[in-house]
Structure 1
Amino acid sequence: MSEFDSERRIMVDGQIRTADVTDRRLQSALLAVPRERFMPKAKAPQAYADTEVEVGTGRWMMRPRDFAKLAQAAAIRSTDIVLDLAIGRGYSSAVLSRVAETVVGVESDESLLERAERNLAATGSDNAVVIKGDLKVGAPDQGPFDVIFVNGAVDEPARAWFDQLADGGRLAVVVRKGPVGKATIFTRSGASVGERVVFDATPHRLPEFVREPGFVF
């Protein structure tokens, strides 16, 4: 067992299970995916720390605890089609691909997208595909989706995301309008959408969703 393998086990035991993440499939996925592979080499030692790690301009890997709790709250089934937004170097897609039927990852940064493709291929995430696109637009040609997962905080969800949810589909995202964000599950039921706050979190806001300051007269 390598040092990273040991740290991965410690992460799951000390950060994930203790945060009431009881989904065994998700725990197994987190144990199987080498988180360090999806980081810049210089930051690999931070892979299993209880913190966010910047992996590219405007892209951060969420705290392991926050990522796992949000993924569990999305209640991903083995038959689900998942849209994974702002994938950075592909870690989230690699994990989610192990609990879903198919994952479609969207990234707007070309260099990150290429790294994600290589990382997913190297880790055997064969049911995950990645495409370049606008995060606010999503992937309308690939939907509808049972789950949409967002890697980062937004002031408010994009309208297009709700349109791409299947009936009964869930949008998992941290809505952050102030210093503390609310990890929220939005569920579509016919033409209506319900929402449920599941925990507090403070991931970085996605640059694409940071509101421009208004003019003051």
Structure 2
Amino acid sequence: MADFALRRRMMVDTQVRPSDVTKFPIIDAMLKVEREAFLPDALREAAYSSENLDLGEKRVLLEPRTLAKILDALNISGDQLVLDIGCAYGYSSAVVARMAQAVVAVEEDTAMAAEAQSVFVESGTDNVIVHEGPLADGAEEHGPYDLILIQGGVEQLPDAIADQLKDGGRIACLFMEDALGIVRIGYKTGGTLSWRFDFNASAPVLPGFEKEAVFAL
């Protein structure tokens, strides 16, 4: 039987801490949330690998380093409402839920959303709302949000998502530019987002977050 607790500790010690992520709430959450519980049986053995895990249909579970550095940059506090887009089976939302007041987890795949809800119930995670619907639509009815994170690549951020961020709020986006991915943190002031570079990473572009095709005659 796999010793997942040991693998969790190794993940933190070899992937998270060496990436300059040392904030206690992040380390604590990533040590306590059972990553393997938020994956299909066939992927559980690979739960703590240092790569994005392929969930099919251009969806991945982001590698631990990428998620940890995004959480570090967003600097979540216990009074904040967080929108987690593309939560898949719910791992990222479970980690964020240990740091935030509440999380709205958006998932458009019905089976993934149902499984995430089931694992939240089993694990006693009671401050996450699973919202089933198109990822690019977010979850306006529960917003506006203090923080937004997106579990996959972005070529173009939908206006609907930007509009759901509170003024003074922050959003993390992994912008894919050809093969290169850049995580930027957006700060909303006076209704406008300004972006700063944070680190390099990579992930498939999520459905609904592609650049609009431009047709030239």
Asked if TM exceeds 0.5, the reply is yes
Change (3 A) 1:55 1:122: farther
Deviation at 1:2, TM superposition (A): 6.1
Which whole-Å deviations, capped at 9, do the CAs of 1:146-166 have from their partners, x for residues lacking one? 001100011021111221111
The corresponding residue for 1:121 is 121
CA distance in 2, matches of 1:59, 1:147: 22
User: Structure 1-normalised TM-score?
Assistant: 0.95
The corresponding residue for 2:68 is 68
Amino acid across the alignment from 1:165: L
Q: Which runs of 5+ in 1 are unaligned?
A: none
Contact 2:135 2:207 in 1 (8 A): no
Change (3 A) 1:56 1:127: farther
Deviation at 1:30, TM superposition (A): 0.4
CA distance in 2, matches of 1:56, 1:118: 20
The corresponding residue for 2:58 is 58
Contact 1:33 1:123 in 2 (8 A): no
Secondary structure (helix, strand or coil) at the match of 2:156 reads: coil
Deviation at 1:136, TM superposition (A): 1.4
Does 2:24 match 1:24? yes
Change (3 A) 1:48 1:211: same
Contact 2:156 2:211 in 1 (8 A): no
The corresponding residue for 1:203 is 203
Contact 1:147 1:171 in 2 (8 A): yes
Map 1:114-153 to 2 at 5 A.
114-153=114-153
Deviation at 1:167, TM superposition (A): 1.8
User: Structure 2-normalised TM-score?
Assistant: 0.95
Does 2:35 match 1:35? yes
Contact 1:56 1:88 in 2 (8 A): no
The corresponding residue for 1:164 is 164
Q: Which runs of 5+ in 2 are unaligned?
A: none
Deviation at 1:54, TM superposition (A): 1.9
Which whole-Å deviations, capped at 9, do the CAs of 1:44-89 have from their partners, x for residues lacking one? 1110010011234332100100011011111111110000000100
CA distance in 1, matches of 2:211, 2:156: 10
What is the number of equivalent residue pairs in this alignment? 217
Secondary structure (helix, strand or coil) at the match of 1:99 reads: coil
Contact 2:156 2:210 in 1 (8 A): no
Greater CA drift, 191-200 or 43-52 = 191-200
Contact 2:107 2:134 in 1 (8 A): yes
Taking every aligned residue pair, what percent have the same amino acid on both sides? 37
CA distance in 1, matches of 2:209, 2:195: 20
CA distance in 2, matches of 1:212, 1:161: 16
CA distance in 2, matches of 1:83, 1:24: 22
CA RMSD across the alignment: 1.6
